Structure 1
């Protein structure tokens, strides 16, 4: 591609997006990463390190993005708004789940019968009817 970079290291990092090369290998599991910072973040899963601490409660997180999402539980901030009914949600996954009420999508399908559900918890509850 035609992208240019001021430093060779940035070019090398970018080139890995094209080659798929993942030179940073986890010593604990088979995963590998294209950037060393991604490996560092991943390693926290193995070590349990949670350097991102909430200032309002005892919660701590391995990733800053998880802390930012958690902070919305304290502020009540709802960044994700439904385009159809203007209902708002603190988490994108909650908006996605809500959107199914408008679309009728039922992605959770029973493998034992034709039934399908919009929520995974309803599929799990349904599975119990097959084992009764």
Structure 2
């Protein structure tokens, strides 16, 4: 297995594999596994959002995020899990999903 010099580093590693997200945004409720990810997200609340979805009105700071969002309306799910075949609209959602399989495999290896 992997070795860690600090307990906090090990704790972050475990949260990653278990998909735990203890850091929650007070403005929108979205949760994150790392405090730094929450801080980056919270900065986005103050950004200008000039790219609005013509279908639902949700606005984005980046044109690329609007393009990703449009997939939800179109039903596009180009990212498929190699383990179970479930499909997702964003690669980040697939990565989050794949943690379930990592947890199952790690738990089985540890005798959980």
- Which of 1 and 2 has higher RCO (CA within 8 Å, sep 6+)? 2
Greater Rg over alpha carbons, structure: 1
**TM-score of Structure 1 vs Structure 2, range by shorter chain:** 0.3 to 0.5
- The normalised TM-score by structure 1 is 0.41
